[in-house]
Amino acid sequence: MAGALVYERAVEQDLDIGTGEVEVSSPGGGKQKGRRINIASFAFATQAQVWDPGSIPAGEFSSVSIPITGIEAGDFVWVSFNGIPHSQVILHSTVYGGNVIVAMTNNALVAHNPGSGTLRVAVFKTNLAL
């Protein structure tokens, strides 16, 4: 098809193919440079649970600790929550010990209450070497 954009397979460029620099064709033309991070293609641990962070004052946060067997520093964690009330409310996570710490930070100027929702966590092994 004339004019079709060429996409390089993500599995070949980013997943399970080592670390280091990589250059790929950009869908809009030209090249893009990045770093391979070697994330395992499948999550080795997933969990979903109900979480009610309550009302989060402006500039504050609410957090929850989720124990997951086999997790360690350097693992990649993906989290989602179906009740983010505002673009200034940020969901983030970190690995600490054998736990995933999930925090919802309110960067807005007023309090926000996201209400109860489903918190989902997926953990991927990686050998990211910076």
Question: pLDDT per residue over 75-124, tens digit each?
Answer: 889 999 987 877 889 999 999 888 999 999 999 999 999 999 999 998 88
CA nearest to 38, candidates 74, 4, 2, 7: 74
46-71 tens-digit pLDDT: 899 999 999 999 999 999 999 998 88
pLDDT of residue 109: 93
Q: What is the pLDDT of residues 71-86, one digit of tens each?
A: 888 888 999 998 787 7
- Distance separating alpha carbons of residues 63 and 45, to the nearest angstrom: 20
On whether the CB atoms of residues 38 and 74 are closer than 8 A, the answer is no
- Please tell me the pTM assigned to this model: 0.66
Give me the count of residues in the chain.
130
pLDDT at 73: 83
- Cβ atoms of 100 and 123 within 8 Å: the answer is yes
Domain boundaries, given as residue ranges, for the chain: 1-38, 45-124
Residue 85, Cα to own-chain centre: how many angstroms?
A: 19
Strand locations in 57-98 (E): 61-67, 76-81, 89-96
Fold entry, domain 45-124? Immunoglobulin-like (2.60.40)
Q: Residue 33 in 3-state DSSP? A: strand
